[in-house]
Amino acid sequence: MPRKIIIDTDPGIDDAMAIYFALRSPELDVIGLTTVFGNVTTELATTNALRLLEIAGRSDIPVARGADDPVALPFGGPVPVVHGEDGQGDVFLPPPTTHAIDQSAAQFIIEQIMTQPGEVTLVPIGPLTNIALALRLEPRIAQHVREVVIMGGNALGPGNATPSAEANIHNDPEAADVVFGAPWQVTMVGLDVTNNVIMSAAHLAEYGQIDHPMARHIARITPYYLEFYRKRHGMDGICVHDSSAIAYLIAPSLFTVKAWPLRVDAGEGIGRGKTWPALGEVDRPSLAPWRARPRVNVCVGVQSDKVVELELARMRG
Ligand code: BDR
Ligand code: CA
């Protein structure tokens, strides 16, 4: 039986790659996309989710629109320098012919989990706002979800939105601290591994050789992302952040995982959005904020070549 997943997404170039990687993997059954601000506004994220499914010929998959703003503060704004004004490398796709469903992202998540207990895995690859809102509306989803596999955070290394914080967590640290603290199994596929999962320009050129609509779309949008990595990081390749969460679901043995209690800095200082694991014992008084917190599975190592090859194979196959 394929594993049922809901992808919570802000598409986003690497989000599009992750969604298509999942759609082309027989181990996974994508039962819905829920949308959130981040790389783009929630409105554009919703439009892009619908467009991506239309390109894939999978408009049977429902799209539920999520929150427009983080739980505590207003959204700081999209990042066109990374993903384009349209979030899809400035290819400016035609409007979708389909529509989002009437339920909000949080309502959809709750309904799916509560009607299929133990079966649904949440895969947030954007800020964690919708997931925190769903928990607030129906805390029992924590008992009934199968797992939550998140692309976001940085346990041991630096951030990318700021020197402290990774972009998805930085966009809504208050929501992230709620999600990492709920009594459910969370796995964090963060920058500690995704910074090492690099598709080279040569890998990306392969998409242009593959003859189906999903690969053709990826071939159209990734040059913009590659240009960003060349200019900003001097790299001849891109980090495939969001796809790494999909790879974890399909092939967890490619990842090394540590189980640590984790807190998110939700203060307003320079550390805002940093994910802090407690690496040792938590019985010292100074570690009280980590005590009574569940252990999060934090990915700290990855066989990156195999992850890249897995994604390319799925797109070719
Ligand atoms: C995350 O931020 C976004 O720009 C990407 O889509 C990914 O989800 C990486 O930090
Ligand atoms: Ca994303």
pLDDT digits (tens, 9 = 90+) for 98-123: 999 999 999 999 999 999 999 999 99
Beta bridge partners of 295: 261
Ligand 1 probe mutation, 9, 10, 243, most atoms within 8 A of CB: 10
Q: Please report the pLDDT score of residue 31 as a whole number.
A: 98
Taking only the tens place, the pLDDT of each residue in 223-267 is 999 999 999 999 999 999 999 999 999 999 999 999 999 999 999
Residue carrying the six token digits 């309904």: 111
Ligand 1: does its nearest atom lie under 6 Å from the Cβ of 78?
A: no
Closest to 251 measured CA to CA, from 68, 83, 21: 21
Ligand 1: does its nearest atom lie under 6 Å from the Cβ of 189?
A: no
Ligand 1: does its nearest atom lie under 6 Å from the Cβ of 88?
A: no
| 267-279 per-residue burial string, b: 16 or more CB within 10 A, e: under 16 | eeeebbbbbbbbe
Q: What is the CA radius of gyration of the chain?
A: 18
Distance from Cα 241 to the centre of ligand 1, integer Å: 6
Q: Please report the pLDDT score of residue 280 as a whole number.
A: 87
Q: Which of 14, 192, 241, 265 is catalytic?
A: 241
| Closest protein CA for atom 4 of ligand 1 | 39
pLDDT above 90 for 317:
no
Distance from Cα 253 to the centre of ligand 2, integer Å: 23
99 in active site: no
Ligand 1: does its nearest atom lie under 6 Å from the Cβ of 241?
A: yes
10 in active site: yes
Tell me if 198 sits within 8 A of 304, measured CB to CB. yes
Q: Omega of the bond prior to 12 within 30 degrees of 0, cis?
A: yes
pLDDT above 90 for 198:
yes
Ordered by start, the domain boundaries in the chain are 3-316
Q: Please report the pLDDT score of residue 8 as a whole number.
A: 99
Ligand 1: does its nearest atom lie under 6 Å from the Cβ of 166?
A: yes
| 247-260 per-residue burial string, b: 16 or more CB within 10 A, e: under 16 | bbbbeeebbebbeb
Atom of ligand 1 nearest to the CA of 10: 6
The CATH architecture assigned to 3-316 reads: Alpha-Beta Complex (3.90)
Atom of ligand 1 nearest to the CA of 125: 8
- Confidence (pTM): 0.98
Ligand 1: does its nearest atom lie under 6 Å from the Cβ of 12?
A: yes
| Closest protein CA for atom 10 of ligand 1 | 167
| Distance from C-alpha of 314 to C-alpha of 34, rounded to nearest angstrom | 23
Averaged pLDDT for residues 189-200: 98
Residue 260, φ and ψ in degrees, nearest 5: -130, 145
pLDDT above 90 for 171:
yes
Output the CA torsion 265→75→65→144 (10° steps).
10
Q: Lowest mean pLDDT: which of 7-11, 100-104, 108-112, 277-281? A: 277-281
| Distance from C-alpha of 66 to C-alpha of 52, rounded to nearest angstrom | 17
Atom of ligand 1 nearest to the CA of 161: 10
Residues 6+ apart with CB under 8 A from 82: 13, 39, 225, 228
Ligand 1 probe mutation, 150, 151, 154, 229, most atoms within 8 A of CB: 151
Closest to 240 measured CA to CA, from 272, 274, 197, 207: 197
Tell me if 155 sits within 8 A of 275, measured CB to CB. yes
Ligand 1: does its nearest atom lie under 6 Å from the Cβ of 125?
A: yes
- In percent, how much of the chain has pLDDT > 70? 100
Q: Please report the pLDDT score of residue 177 as a whole number.
A: 98
Tell me if 279 sits within 8 A of 287, measured CB to CB. no
In this prediction, residue 196 has a pLDDT band, given cuts at 50, 70 and 90, of very high
Ligand 1: does its nearest atom lie under 6 Å from the Cβ of 265?
A: no
